[in-house]
């Protein structure tokens, strides 16, 4: 026997009421009871009220003060994970680009900062006014 996956668009209604979910379409209706279990929150929570942009700056300053003056976004991310383990990598990359005004994609971000200087080929350095 061969199975062939397919999908059919169906219009219906989903009702959510006091722990019960009802899915109805045409003449069929299914009701499910939903337990009230809470999923652990794995989203990033700001530590000491810092924004991700401020964490980018603090991490770049930390790397620079340890003697590493040229770094990649991935190296910054690895250092930042030590203090902020729930930091999302895709958010991080966007904030690093938004912190380097000379990066070609900088214009696409609204959180424009001037913390970093993009040196090309994925490498950055901390701008002089932010040196520790």
Contacts of 63 (CB under 8 A, 6+ apart): 71, 75, 76, 79, 126
Q: Which residue has the higher pLDDT, 3 or 131?
A: 131
pTM: 0.65
- In tens, the pLDDT along 32-76 reads 887 655 445 455 555 567 889 999 999 999 999 999 999 999 999
Residue 75 · residue 86 · CB < 8 Å:
no
pLDDT at 132: 83
Give, in degrees to the nearest 5, the angle at Cα 100 between 129 and 52. 90
Residues forming beta bridges with residue 29, ordered by sequence position: 24
- In tens, the pLDDT along 84-121 reads 888 888 889 999 999 999 999 999 998 889 999 999 99
């Amino acid at each position: 026997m061969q199975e062939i996956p397919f999908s059919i668009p169906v219009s219906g209604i989903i009702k959510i009421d006091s722990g019960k979910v009802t899915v109805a379409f045409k003449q069929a209706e299914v009701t499910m009871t939903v337990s009230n279990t809470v999923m652990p929150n794995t989203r990033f929570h700001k530590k000491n009220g810092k924004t991700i942009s401020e964490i980018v700056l603090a991490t770049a300053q930390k790397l620079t003060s340890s003697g590493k003056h040229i770094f990649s976004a991935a190296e910054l991310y690895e250092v930042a994970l030590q203090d902020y383990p729930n930091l999302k990598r895709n958010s991080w990359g966007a904030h690093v680009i938004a912190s380097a005004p000379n990066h070609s994609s900088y214009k696409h971000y609204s959180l424009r900062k001037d913390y970093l200087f993009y040196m090309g080929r994925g490498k950055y350095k901390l701008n002089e006014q932010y040196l520790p």
